Amino acid sequence: SDKATFVVQNVNDNDESHVPRWADTLGVIKQFCAAATHLAVHLENEMDGVFTSQNRLQYNEL
């Protein structure tokens, strides 16, 4: 499987404040790259992602 890692600022294990920030990030990604839009659609539809203590979203496409 392919893995893409996105850096997300100021995210804690129990912090819900990343939700609007991540939505804004997806909006920016979509404007720049069709391939990233494809990934963003997978993220939005499946949300098979885990926020780690390193403040990153790691996504594995199944």
Closest alpha carbon to 5 in 35, 45, 39: 39
Segment 6-62, tens digit of pLDDT = 555 555 555 565 566 666 777 776 667 767 667 777 676 655 455 444 434 554 444
Please tell me the pTM assigned to this model.
Answer: 0.23
**Beta strand pairing call for 3-7 and 56-60:** antiparallel
Structural domains of the chain, count: 1
Domain with 23 in it: 3-60
CA distance 39 to 54: 21
What pLDDT, on a 0 to 100 scale, did the predictor assign at position 47? 55
